Structure 1
Amino acid sequence: LLLLGGQRNAVVRTLGLMRRDLLGEGLPDGRDALTGLPDRWSVENALAREFRRRPEGLGVAVIELDHMTALATQRGQGFTERLMAHVARVTLGGLRDEDLLGRLNPDQLVVVLRAPDARAARAACERLRVRIASRPLEGVNPTVSIGLAFHGPHEHDSAAALLHAAQDTLRGGEEGWNRVLLGTTGSGSHVGPPLLA
């Protein structure tokens, strides 16, 4: 039992060091106070590093909680903050170790991920959407809309363009809530149809 406990501690410590190395050091204010996730500045820096290292296959997914204004009116601001922290924990549990989750603003999270192609990235986002919707908090099943931007093999846009494309995809999606919307960067930019549940 002592040996297993020591191995577990070593694994946890190693994973913590890997995550710290991915985010960089010297960022005392680089965490969101509510969720403990990297803040926007930290995510943008990590995304820029990943983009310089290998832009191909890099995706950015912006996850926006649906109906936040109505929930704040009905249940109060305290509930919406608990809901955001809950969704952040649920999302983090559905990611791989190499993926990065951060908080953009009060009702948006962001995931930086790698995938072989846009279809695989979209499928990963769809799994996250279903995972979040299946884990209620205080009787509320949260739903999210996800805007995904994926860097294809022949595109040369900047890392910042990926983040903005994912946010623009959400703004441009008029199909309703609880969807995964795929937009691409580059000269052939488009917003694809929603992937229905």
Structure 2
Amino acid sequence: MKDEIHPQTLDSSEQPRNALDRLIYWFGNLISLLFIFTVGISFYEVLMRYIFNAPTIWVHETASFLGGCLFVYGGIYALAINKHVRVVLIYDIVSDTTRRWLNVFHHIMGLMFTSLLSWAAYQMVQDSWFTPFGDLRLETSGSAWDPVFPALVKGMIFATLCIMFVQFFLHLIQELNGLRKRKDV
């Protein structure tokens, strides 16, 4: 079934291209089970609130935190299996060589984009993890439960962007090597 992503069902263009992509793919499949956990605790909250009239203070923030982290991870997962957004109207009608050059352009733009976003995310993490004097103090949600989820999500965004930068770099190297090999043939 095409909707389920197993290595056997991925076509050659969707296969992880290097060790980092394979690790991201494997780990992504593993942590995707957290979506089931999120649904489970949300169902628990509905039962507690509407059947037992005893709402929780932790479910909403936990579900939001897990969902947010999983969706952020989805960016590097999509890049790992070549399922990211592209303009297929143009991409699908050009030759293989032109497609490779479009990939090179895409990877260079991705490097620039992720480097700038990583810098901004670093600033965001610095503000949410440290006091102005440099002491560790994780930002909290400010709710009755007050978990450190906002700081952790910002850290996840920063880490994911750094990984995506490395992915774009590795993909660029692989694409350039592929172009060089085609010229040598």
TM range (shorter): under 0.3
TM-score normalised by the chain length of structure 1: 0.24
More helix by share: 2
- Larger relative contact order (Cα-Cα within 8 Å, sequence gap ≥ 6): 2
More strand by share: 1
Structure number with bigger Rg:
2
